[in-house]
Structure 1
Amino acid sequence: MASLSAAPVTKKPSVTFFAIWNMCFGFLGLQFGLGLQNANVSRIFQTLGAKIDDIPILWIAAPLTGLLVQPLVGYLSDRTWTRLGRRRPYLLVGALLSSAALLIMPMSPALWVAAVMLWILDASINTSMQPFRAFVGDQLPLRQRPAGYAMQSFFIGVGAVVASALPWLFEHIGISNTAQAGIVPDTVRYSFFLGAIVLFVAVLWTVISTHEYPPEQLEAFDDASPELPPAGAPKRGWGAFWLVVGVAGFAVMHQFAGAFEKTHGFPLDKQLYLLWAGAFVWGAALLLQRPGEPKGLFGTIMRNIETMPDSMRKLAPVQFFSWLALFAMWIYTTGGVTESFFHSKDATSAAYNEGANWVGILFAAYNGFAALASIIVPWIARKLGLRWTHLINVWLGGFGLLSFLFIHDPDWLIASMLGVGFAWASILSLPYAIVSDSVPAKTMGVYMGIFNFFIVIPQLVAASVLGFVLKFAFHGQPIYALAVGGVSFLISGLLVLRLPKEKKA
């Protein structure tokens, strides 16, 4: 569809239900890819020889690629205008690369190949994911943005339901669910092949069925320039502090690693170094800031971090604990369910693969519940407000994950996923609606990329710390990672009350 005229307008027009449907339909494909990844990557890694202790560091690709790719793509797409539009070129490129990675990953002959393919898959999905978030903010007026993000949640739920259940469905039509050591079962391979097709076709539908406002028209709308706090002087003093924290952390770990292993019987996880590396990099970034008008990618991102709206700052800890819980669930549900409910750690055994398929059903269930919840959540938000709606939903998720400790029949874990589904639907919609209403249209992309920091940092923390916590406090039993996730959801709900009360429309 051709782009709209750039005639000056004051009020951004409302769009039809089917226009929102089309602009969000590509999320069906992206979540097909993410659903396959979340439900099966730990299984693929264990099939190729990874130990349960190695899984978190292998998953590090997900947060690191998001941390690097989303702000970059946001910065670039804010400054892009082509015949295909502003965000759509990135949607299409990301879909092509993601589909290729889905085709290759289950064919990996060795663990390192699968790990590399996860990096490529995550970077590619993030290339499309970030513009999709900004796309809704660009195209919809304030009053329709909650509906737009709820529609994305609906497609995320539907896509993940089918994707997560595919290995189980393929097994039930006679495709082999086991294979010799080091070979990914055909049920998983065929699921990834189908996922590659669905991902590309769904994103292509959004690209060819939607338009974009030219930059000059977008900036003429009345919602284009929310007031932001003034930029202060760069906080370079904190840079030295974080540099010292990073260096000291490295030094202390190196000095006492041997003594710790002698005392506790297992070594300090090397991924703990990621925490100190993160502190060091953040300190360096603060020191590299310069006063005055920012220039280039780095300067723009750092200045936008400094001037982010208050609602975004207060959402940071809410997002941190929400995504810490989710990442714990994605990493450890396969190991927790197969070990605690199907009593197997052997990735070649029928019991393990039966349990891994059941995890796919559980992931399908929470995404299905999320698709239904996405219809209900906007209605609840209108009645109770965004803060209390989000608190209720993430607490349902917290109780759902904690219930894994008390349920003995794996069939009843479906009930646990009901709470997780409501949390997932809320996390995917309400925070984005809050942020999109408070940032300027011309920098929507880079702010959505910065908002992604609050998602990937907890994932980096989870990948760095969770394995160590399990060994140190819970004798390496992965089921307790889900309990940590449940508590994190409860903390997230309490922190959301720090947000200012929203103004009534």
Structure 2
Amino acid sequence: MKKRQLSFWEIWNVSFGFMGVQFGFALQNANISNVLENLGADVHSLSFFWLAAPVMGLIVQPIVGGASDLTWNKRFGRRGPFILGGAFFAALGMYLMPNSPLFVKLMPAMFFGGLMLALMDGSFNVTMQPFRALVADMLPESQRNKGYSIQSLLINIGAVIGSALPFILTNVIGLSNIAEKGQVSASVTWAFYIGATILLGSVLWTVFKTKEYPPEVYYANEGIDPEEIKAQREADAKRSFSQKASGFIGLVVNMPKTMKQLAVVQFFSWFALFLMWVYTTPAIGQYIWDVPQYLYGDISKIPGDVPISTIENFRAAKGAAGDWVGILFAGYSLFAAIFSVVMIKIANTFGRKPTYAVSLLLGGLSYVAFLLFKDPEIIQVNLLIASFEVPKGAVMLIIPMIGVGIAWAAILAMPYAILSNALPPQKMGIYMGIFNFTIAGPQIIAGLFGSFILKLLGEKPIYMIVVAGVSMLLAAAFVFIVKETIPKPINETSEE
């Protein structure tokens, strides 16, 4: 039995669960800064809370990748057990996060919220990594551009709905988006409940609809000697922890050259993305809605001479700005989903590297363009499902979201399509996990130095978005140092 060409819907099923994972991840990205601020975090400490995601990725993904390479379960396959287990715990964290104030007897709500953030991020990483390897496992090389592009499309469909959900719950359903200090708003609470349910449902769909190749078929298609794998497992069982650690370090040091070159591009790409996720909410709240800085920090710093009615107005503006960030994030995810459809043809026509570089260039310019849209004039916006008033500058920010979305689509697909051809098939999972270092590392650095950079920029988060733009432009330039590996044809059918 040879690795066959899959139909569109079979490829869709392979990555459908990733849509639900990204639904939850997008909810977190768009709302967690606001949630943590309401629970007591200061704007300067936000980047430290956000370190949970990359730190968990740094630890979890290589372990999961290596384990899934050597796993086989007759019912759930190689990657399925990890996808399903990670989804369960991610959903648990999403159900508990909005209820942080209920656990104040155990620990401060802010710290419980941070703990749930770590649980969600660790679980998201357990689930995400096998999805990356699953595409390479299931598809012949000739379909991998298509496979990763469909995965990118599904990721962004989930992100669009997840990002916009609190806004919809506020403006269509009528749930409140205003939260007192120490509480989580009703719209965000219910969005997390819905997101957790969708995450579990979509992952179950992939696990039960995708039948992974059994070991003997997979090994035959990839040209792997089963006896070599058996010997590797037996040797691994006998090795001490220090020997395993040494072997892992050896894999990192001797990673394929293409992977090292992509790591440079990844550094600047993900440094930029981290700054956007952390600072967009306070950036547009202060820059466009004129929410004072003290509402993004310690409540004790609120001036005593400010009338309560004014504070309430500012809180309402802060809630509106937070909801609008969800719309902006939904916007870039929507544009990414649209671009994912045509990206397959563009990459096949012009090449992966030019597609990747131009996409990152547009993303970098778009971040810098945030500065152009400070217009406080209130205008009426009608989205058919709801009509509301919002500053004109906020509406105009949809324009740079086009470029950000194009960059995001490319970041989700092109590095993996390029990388998959450069990796040994028998170590696909662990190397995909190691590749996550290039995602987690820059985010950790951005998180550690974010507060320092913010102070250098005069405590103005809008300039953090500009820094993100410069970083993305550097990423675009470094794409051209990447040397692609031309794969050798191995036992795959050629017909479409």
TM-score for the superposition, normalised by structure 1: 0.82
Residue 222 of structure 1: how far off its partner (Å): 4.5
2:220 alignment partner, SS class: coil
Is 1:51 the equivalent of 2:17?
no
Out of 286, 306, 323, the position equivalent to 1:339 is 286
- 1:33 alignment counterpart: 24
Residue pair 1:71, 1:301 contacting (<8 A) in 2 also = no
Structure 2 letter corresponding to 1:209 = K
Q: CA deviation at 1:501?
A: 5.3
Whether contact under 8 Å (1:136, 1:148) holds in the other structure is yes
Distance in 2 between the 1:293 and 1:193 partners?
Answer: 43
Over residues 45-100 of structure 1, what are the superposed CA-to-partner deviations in whole Å (9 max), with x where a residue is unaligned?
A: 11111111010011110100000000000111111111221110001101110111
Q: State which of 459, 479, 485 in structure 2 corresponds to 1:496.
A: 479
**Residues 1:484 and 2:475 aligned together:** no
Match of 2:246 in 1: 299
Separation (CA, whole Å) in 1 of partners of 2:88 and 2:240: 37
Task: Verify: 1:97 aligned to 2:80, yes or no.
Answer: no
Q: Tell which deviates more after alignment, 345-354 or 123-132.
A: 345-354
- State the partner residue of 1:427: 411
- Tell me the residue number matched to 2:458: 475
Structure 2 counterpart of 1:212 = 212
Query: Using the alignment, how far apart are the partners of 1:442 and 1:18 within structure 2?
Result: 27
- SS at the partner of 2:221? coil
1:83-482 superposed matches below 5 A? 83=74, 84-109=76-101, 110-172=109-171, 173-222=173-222, 297-344=244-291, 345=293, 346=295, 349-408=315-374, 409-472=393-456, 474-482=457-465
8 Å contact from structure 2 (residues 421, 485) kept in 1 = no
1:215 CA displacement: 2.4
Per mean C-alpha deviation after superposition, the further-off stretch among 198-207 and 174-183 is 174-183
- Preserved CA contact (<8 Å) 2:364 2:468: yes
Q: CA deviation at 1:322?
A: 0.4
1:69 correspondence with 2:68: no
CA deviation vs aligned residue, 1:207-243 (integer Å, no higher than 9, x gap): 0001111223212215669xxxxxxxxxxxxxxxxxx
- Compared with structure 1, are the counterparts of its residues 76 and 503 closer, same or farther at alpha carbon in structure 2 (3 Å cutoff)? closer
Q: Cα offset for 1:13? A: 1.5
- Secondary structure at the aligned position of 1:342 is classed as coil
Provide the secondary structure at the position in 1 that maps to 2:6. Answer: coil
- C-alpha displacement at 1:296, in angstroms? 5.6
Aligned partners of 2:222 and 2:425 also within 8 Å: no
Q: Among the aligned pairs, what percent are the same residue?
A: 43
Distance 1:467 1:454 in 2: 22
- Give the whole-Å Cα distance in 1 for the aligned partners of 2:146 and 2:243: 34
Which residue in 2 is equivalent to 1:23? 14
Q: For residue 336 of structure 2, what is the amino acid of its counterpart?
A: A
Residue range with higher mean Cα deviation, 345-354 or 426-435: 345-354
Once residues 324 and 6 of structure 2 are traced to their aligned partners in structure 1, the CA distance between those partners, rounded to angstroms, is 40
Amino acid paired to 1:64: V
**CA shift in 2, pair 1:122/1:294, >3 Å:** closer
Letter in 2 for 1:218: Y
Report SS of the residue matched to 1:12: coil
Q: Displacement, 1:440? A: 1.8
- Which one is further off, 305-314 or 69-78? 305-314
SS of residue in 2 equivalent to 1:429: helix
Q: CA deviation at 1:103?
A: 0.4
* Contact 1:385 1:502 survives alignment (8 Å): no
Letter of the 2:195 partner, please give it.
G
Letter of the structure 2 residue corresponding to residue 399 of structure 1: L
- 1:35–1:163 Cα contact (<8 Å) kept: yes
Partner of 1:268: none
| 1:366 maps to amino acid | Y
Question: AA paired with 1:89?
Answer: P
CA shift, 1:119, in A, is: 0.4
Q: Secondary structure at 2:397's aligned position in 1?
A: helix
Rounded to whole Å, the distance in 2 between the matches of 1:297 and 1:443 is: 15
Whole-angstrom CA distance in 2 between matches of 1:444 and 1:199: 25
Task: Name the SS for the 1:363 alignment partner.
Answer: helix
Asked if structure 1 preserves the Cα contact closer than 8 Å seen for 2:421 and 2:486, the reply is no
Q: Which amino acid aligns with 1:208?
A: F
How many Å separate the matches in 1 of 2:463 and 2:363? 15
Deviations, residues 333-383 of structure 1 (Å, cap 9, x unaligned):
011011111111426700000000000000000000000010111111122
Instruction: Measure how far apart 1:502 and its partner are.
Output: 6.1
> 1-side partners of 2:486 and 2:49: how far apart?
44
**How many corresponding residue pairs?**
429
Question: Matches of 1:100 and 1:501 in 2, distance apart?
Answer: 41
In 2, Cα distance between equivalents of 1:202 and 1:107: 24
C-alpha distance in 1 between matches for 2:96 and 2:198: 15
Cα distance between partner residues in 2 of 1:318 and 1:165: 29
The answer for unaligned runs of 5 or more in structure 1 is 1-8, 226-291
Deviation string, structure 1 residues 449-495 (Cα, Å, up to 9, x no partner): 000000000000100112101202x1111111110110111000110
- Mapped to 2, the partners of 1:453 and 1:107 lie a distance apart of 32
Contact 1:12–1:141 (CA under 8 A) maintained in structure 2 = yes
Superposition RMSD in Å: 1.8
Deviation for aligned residue 1:307: 2.2
Instruction: Tell me whether 1:42 sits opposite 2:50 in the alignment.
Output: no
